Homo-oligomer: A and B are copies of this chain.
Amino acid sequence: MTDNRATLRARLDAAVGSAQVLTAESDVLPYVTDWRGRFHGRALAVVRPGSTDEVADVVRICAELRVPIVAQGGNTGQCGGATPDAEGNAIVLSLARMNRVRAVDPDNATLTAEAGVPLAAVQQAAADSGLLFPLSLAAEGSCTIGGNLSTNAGGTAVLRFGNARELVLGIEVVLADGRIWNGLRGLRKDNTGYDLKQLFIGAEGTLGIVTAAVLKLYPAPRARVTALAAVPDVASSVRLLRDLRAALGDRVTGFELMSALSMAIARKHHPGSPDPCPGHPWYALIQADDTLVDSPLPAQVELALGAALESGVALDATIAQSVEQAHTLWALRENIAEAQRREGPNIKHDISLPVSAIPRFVDEARDALSAALPGIRFVTFGHLGDGNLHYNLAGPEGTDQGAFMANARQANRIVHDLVAAHGGSISAEHGIGQLKREELTRYKSATEMDLMRKVKAALDPAGVLNPGKVL
């Protein structure tokens, strides 16, 4: 073992330079603890290659020595997918140094970025060419595009633009045996055989390591309208979404649902936050964008919300009159996660359902959970337009929130069983990682699990890529 480690170290040093092979505990620590602080692993080393060839060298070395490889981008995952286990036999392969935007092609509306480019830098490079890269999520300052693709990230613009998967034309991947597959095609139509890139997107580093990607860019929006509407119940929020899409079409780029309690918690921990439409049980945060010159969008949004107020679908509404006001409205939504953290632990669920099933799910889950855990509080919010709820549960007011976490297993079972019954997903956008492996086998059919294992065995027969994750 010691010999093996010495061999590994010497070969890694030769491959990427010893300065890029971190082994001191303090150097390694940030890479073996996940962002939420739930998972603490160990690693033989953190290896930071600077090029695709170096990644390939590192993977080849590890494959030969049977050393597990945990690929890591910005380490902002929610499910421990980029954190090694406690055995300490793996290396963390950080893509952070591969941070070049290789090309921007405005005529083709594409951008080629290495895996370690932060999402915000991709957005900026697109904007510098007058175009839009629409993927947007809370961690965009520190997460990387490689991690976004490996987890098929979602975020706030999925309603209009789809998940990360839909924003990719081609990828470059280092395979489990160290070969490089150059699939960096910038083509909008390419039907030459199986679409292999789809295997690696969303596979959380278990089938290959994404080192670069050709991304789709879009016309930049010229008009943006942000509004908040109060609604009497969840069914009305679904109706409002449908009515707005009927009136505004696909100009509706975001539609976020928030319960009154979610917003109250956000306001409590972020003093100075406004309370624009007070006194209602549910709120919808609406964003509409238009790429058209001289867009009539603002007037149209006003008309559509007016109609919703008249029909009783909405009870109150406000439209941001400035960019600053728009930010304030979005802050109400974006502050919920941080406010929750300060409020005390929550039993969290990142679920999705057919949009049409959400009202019944919310009712049924409330009844079942209230019966099982009297006094339980519902911190429900999320991307309703995508059917994605962050369905989080807090203990009864005034009780020990930490102690309430002991109910997690029971609550998860109630929530996930109902999600499954409604044809939903137990992980809408955060992935599986190590957090939800057990749940996955519970809710996936035996056939689907078998297919996944066959794919894994075909692409990583020795099991060196991120073992213990997803499958």
Binding site for B on A (CB under 8 A): 105-110, 130, 151-152, 154, 158-159, 162-163, 165-166, 175, 179-183, 185-196, 198-199, 201-203, 207, 218-219, 221-222, 238, 241-242, 245-251, 290-297, 300, 303, 352-357, 383, 386-388, 423-432, 436, 440, 443-445, 447-448, 451-452, 454-455, 457-459, 470-471
Task: Give the complex CA separation of A194 and B203 in angstroms.
Answer: 6
Question: CB-nearest residue of chain B relative to A183?
Answer: B448
A246 to chain B: which residues have CB within 8 Å? 130, 219
Question: CB-nearest residue of chain B relative to A461?
Answer: B454
Q: Determine whether the beta carbon of A222 is less than 8 Å from that of B193.
A: no
A105 to chain B: which residues have CB within 8 Å? 354, 356
Question: CB-nearest residue of chain B relative to A163?
Answer: B189
Q: Determine whether the beta carbon of A181 is less than 8 Å from that of B424.
A: no
Task: Give the complex CA separation of A207 and B187 in angstroms.
Answer: 24
In the complex where A238-B107, A249-B291, A292-B300 touch, is A424 in contact with B187 (Cβ < 8 A)?
A: yes
In the complex where A186-B354, A292-B296 touch, is A250 in contact with B387 (Cβ < 8 A)?
A: no
Q: Determine whether the beta carbon of B249 is less than 8 Å from that of A440.
A: no
**Which of B191, B250, B292, B428 contacts A151, CB < 8 Å?**
B191
- What are 30 contact pairs spanning A and B, CB under 8 A? A107-B354, A130-B246, A152-B195, A159-B188, A162-B166, A163-B188, A166-B166, A181-B445, A181-B448, A182-B445, A185-B423, A187-B352, A188-B352, A189-B429, A190-B352, A191-B202, A191-B429, A192-B425, A193-B440, A193-B444, A194-B203, A196-B452, A196-B455, A219-B246, A219-B248, A222-B249, A249-B292, A250-B291, A292-B300, A457-B458
A105-B354, A218-B250 are known; give 16 further A-B pairs, CB within 8 A.
Answer: A108-B355, A108-B357, A165-B195, A185-B423, A188-B387, A189-B387, A189-B388, A191-B428, A191-B431, A193-B440, A194-B452, A195-B198, A198-B199, A219-B249, A247-B293, A454-B459
Task: Give the complex CA separation of A383 and B190 in angstroms.
Answer: 13
Task: Give the complex CA separation of A295 and B186 in angstroms.
Answer: 32
In the complex where A447-B181, A458-B455 touch, is A192 in contact with B249 (Cβ < 8 A)?
A: no
Task: Give the complex CA separation of A192 and B199 in angstroms.
Answer: 13
Q: Determine whether the beta carbon of B454 is less than 8 Å from that of A191.
A: no
A455 to chain B: which residues have CB within 8 Å? 194, 196, 199, 455, 458
**Which of B175, B190, B292, B387 contacts A251, CB < 8 Å?**
B292
Q: Determine whether the beta carbon of B247 is less than 8 Å from that of A425.
A: no
Interface centre among A179, A192, A241, A295 (most CB of B within 10 A): A192
Q: How far is the CB of A258 from chain B (nearest CB, A)?
A: 18
Q: Determine whether the beta carbon of A109 is less than 8 Å from that of B454.
A: no
**Which of B192, B207, B426 contacts A444, CB < 8 Å?**
B192
A357 to chain B: which residues have CB within 8 Å? 108
A293 to chain B: which residues have CB within 8 Å? 247-248, 300, 303
